Amino acid sequence: MGPPFRVRVGDSRTGPIFRFESDSFSIGRTQSNDLVLPDESVGLRHARVERTDVGAAFIVVDVRTNARTRRDEGEPFTIGCYELRLLDRDPPAAEEQTFLDALERGPTDDETRSVYADWLEEQGRPLEAEFLRAQIEIRGLAADSVRFAMLSGRVREIGRDLPPSWRRTVARPPVEKCHTRFEVTCPKAWDKMTPTANPNQRHCGTCDQIVYYARTVEEARLHAMNRRCLVVDVVPLRKRGDLDAPPPMMMAGMPAPPPRLLRGR
């Protein structure tokens, strides 16, 4: 069994959170469901939520049609008249939320990032503190320097042990696969994009495009194939040109004819 499911119902900040210690949970309006949403717009047994092999992604199964839809952590979706979000950690305490709100308003403010790192260390969370301080130092280094390579590797190593949603909130990855060209230079950085209702998407005011946050290279390739602007989480090991390859299970060229059509003379 994996970590507990956490689902927030209603407002993204104040809605109640329900936890389920299981490999899946059901949603419906009757008491036989794990999460009961008592409204006629919800089916008696409406949906089932399952895990995926990506820690911060889930599958929502429509019980009536068996349709399976992937939902990322924090992504809003509706069941009947209810808005739900699946979370990968408990919400931060009020004091920490103050830092996160400040970073959302001014994501390039290294002073806020530094004070937040000091606070995290005081709370007994040295890995998050080290992660933030490494981000600050990396910004001033040449990309081909030994120190840059060392810190980048350390950030990737630390990141594996931190909640994906936290990494995304403080992230600073460059935007990739932007095909728009303007006289005004696009900032091409996640921390310079405007947050949206979906924490996995931000808006670029220069290009007027949505930028998608991908947690794996495979997920990023799907966005690239659809000519979407994207950023990739800090954890995956990257290779030059890795977004140019087709996603897994994609075929190049025309599919072969089915065997039953291949007949001899």
Helix, coil or strand: residue 165: helix
Provide the pLDDT for residue 104: 83
**Dihedral, CA atoms, 113, 117, 119, 125, nearest 10 degrees?**
140
Provide the pLDDT for residue 242: 86
Radius of gyration of the chain (CA): 21
**Boundaries of domain holding 193:** 173-250
Provide the pLDDT for residue 175: 83
Longest dimension (CA), the chain: 80
Dihedral sign for Cα 232, 222, 60, 78, please. Answer: positive
Residue 264 pLDDT class (50, 70, 90 cuts): very low
Please give the average per-residue pLDDT across 139-147, as a whole number. Answer: 91
Q: Do 73 and 11 sit in the same domain of this protein?
A: yes
Q: What is the CATH number of the domain that holds 9?
A: 2.60.200.20
Q: Do 71 and 118 sit in the same domain of this protein?
A: no
173-229 confidence digits (pLDDT tens): 778 888 766 545 677 788 888 889 898 999 988 888 899 999 888 889 989 888 999
Please give the average per-residue pLDDT across 71-97, as a whole number. Answer: 93
Q: Do 156 and 190 sit in the same domain of this protein?
A: no
Q: What are phi and psi of 235, to 5 degrees?
A: -75, -45
Claim: this prediction has a pTM higher than 0.85: no
Provide the pLDDT for residue 253: 42
- Boundary (domain end) residue, out of 65, 87, 109: 87
Please give the average per-residue pLDDT across 91-101, as a whole number. Answer: 93
Bigger pLDDT: 57 or 45?
45
- Boundary (domain end) residue, out of 87, 112, 135: 87
Amino acid at 195: P
What tokens appear for 202 in the block? 């931000």
Angle 3-54-131 (CA atoms, 0-180°, nearest 5)?
A: 80
CB distance 43 to 61 below 8 Å: no
Instruction: Give the length of the chain.
Output: 265
User: Structural domain tally of the chain?
Assistant: 3
50, pLDDT greater than 80: yes
Q: 257 lies in a domain?
A: no
Provide the pLDDT for residue 13: 87
106-135 confidence digits (pLDDT tens): 888 899 999 999 999 999 999 999 999 999
Q: Do 10 and 80 sit in the same domain of this protein?
A: yes
Characterize 131-140 residue by residue with b for buried, 16 or more Cβ atoms within 10 angstroms of its Cβ, and e for exposed.
bbbbbeebee
Burial of 214 (0-12, 13-18, 19+ CB in 10 A): buried
What tokens appear for 92 in the block? 């931060």
CB distance 87 to 165 below 8 Å: yes
The count of other CB atoms within 10 Å of the CB of residue 248 is 8
Q: At what angle do helices 126-139 and 146-159 cross, to 10 degrees?
A: 150
236, pLDDT greater than 70: yes
Computed over every residue of the chain, the mean pLDDT equals 86
Please give the average per-residue pLDDT across 131-156, as a whole number. Answer: 93
Q: What is the rounded CA–CA span in Å between residue 265 and residue 263?
A: 7
Q: Do 179 and 164 sit in the same domain of this protein?
A: no
- Boundary (domain end) residue, out of 116, 136, 170: 170
